[in-house]
Amino acid sequence: MTSPETLGSLGESQVLARIFPRLPAAAAELLGPGDDAAVVAAPDGRVVITTDMMVHGPDFRLAWSTAHDLGWTAAASNLSDIAAMGAVPTALVVALAAPVDTGIDFLEQFADGLRDGCHALSPGCGVVGGDLSVSDTLTIAVTAFGDLEGRAPVTRAGARVGDVVAVSGVLGAAAQGLALLFASAPAPDAAAAAALRREHPAAVAAQLTPRPPIADGRAAARAGATAMLDLSDGLAIDARRLARASAVALDLSAVEVARGSAAPTLALDGGEDHSLLATFPPGIALPGGFRAIGTVVAGEGVLVDGVPYLERSGWDPYAGWDGAAG
């Protein structure tokens, strides 16, 4: 029997040699991995930048997520933040720290997940660099880049009274998937999670391999979106952020929010949708997958059918973690 190949037994340079060929190439790459830094095209003289760290325990459970799922999600969540500015994702850099006994197959599958996520969600975007470290706690840090194609960024601050509030992507399904996973076993359990994937494929996939509508970010900007953000903490919480930044209120229609939601009771409060919330001037045809769910009105905060809405408190990484890793 041969010894399993691990990060510790192979060493950094051999691990990198195994991973690099699996990573997706970036069309915008001018100089790729292998030097002190990469060089990426920024055609209009600006670059959009977002960074996000995923930590084993608070952000994912290895009993539920495969390495491929983690690579996919690391790409998807960052691509979504680029899209939310109205930009086209161009490239990622990926830093990963893993226990020294982590098998090379885990890292290879993680790289495949990055590749498949980029190919499926934002063709042409790829990985231009990264860093490998050892840690007792599996940790993934992705920084993503985007191109505004000469347009102004779509921030959270531009919504105007009378604008249409619209959303692209699913609402509530990711939270439904998480609730199902937590309910499936007393502690994170791989067999229970596998059974759930068969019984509730859409909800579990929304939680473990989200498919944010990346191309709709650019489409929204081109259509004249006045404000936009990525739904990470739940529609109500994120709508409140957009309302505050724009000094307006968002009046949502309960029927329209629920329509097409996989889990209507979670559509307002469920996190991790990675859908796009945007506001558009009245009277324009909504682009891509956007559907109207409300109206921008004077005031502050979030209303549902004209009544102030008090969301459940959202996910706070410092308050919401129970410490069980799994």
Report the site for a second copy in 87-126 (rule: CB under 8 A): 87, 91, 93-97, 100
Quote the least distance from Cβ 18 to a second copy, whole Å: 13
Interaction between residue 267 and a second copy (CB under 8 A): no
CB-side neighbour CA atoms (13 Å) of 197: 14
Find the helix or strand (DSSP H, E) in which 90 lies.
strand 88-98
Q: Which residues ranging from 170 to 229 are in contact with a second copy (CB under 8 A)? A: 229
Q: Which two tokens stand for residue 240?
A: 């409140």
Q: Which residues ranging from 36 to 75 are in contact with a second copy (CB under 8 A)? A: 36-55, 57-59
CA distances from 73 to 43, 91, 114, 147, 209 (A): 27, 15, 8, 21, 6
Q: Which two tokens stand for residue 199?
A: 């019984």
Residue 8 or 260 with smaller CB distance to a second copy: 8
User: Residue 323, by phi and psi: left (phi above 0), alpha (psi -120 to 50) or beta?
Assistant: left
Interaction between residue 155 and a second copy (CB under 8 A): yes
Interface with a second copy by CB under 8 A: which range of 65-73, 76-84, 181-189, 249-257?
A: 76-84
Residue 21 or 150 with smaller CB distance to a second copy: 150
Quote the least distance from Cβ 265 to a second copy, whole Å: 25
Q: Which residues ranging from 302 to 321 are in contact with a second copy (CB under 8 A)? A: 316-319, 321
Q: Where are the beta strands (DSSP E) in 162-242?
A: 164-168, 227-230
Quote the least distance from Cβ 34 to a second copy, whole Å: 8
For the purposes of burial, counting CB atoms within 10 Å of the CB of 132, is it exposed (0-12), middle (13-18) or buried (19 or more)? middle
- Binding a second copy (rule: CB under 8 A), the pick from 4, 17, 27, 30 is 30
Residue 277 or 304 with smaller CB distance to a second copy: 277
Q: Which residues ranging from 235 to 264 are in contact with a second copy (CB under 8 A)? A: 245
Instruction: Kindly state the DSSP code that residue 213 receives in the 8-state scheme.
Output: -
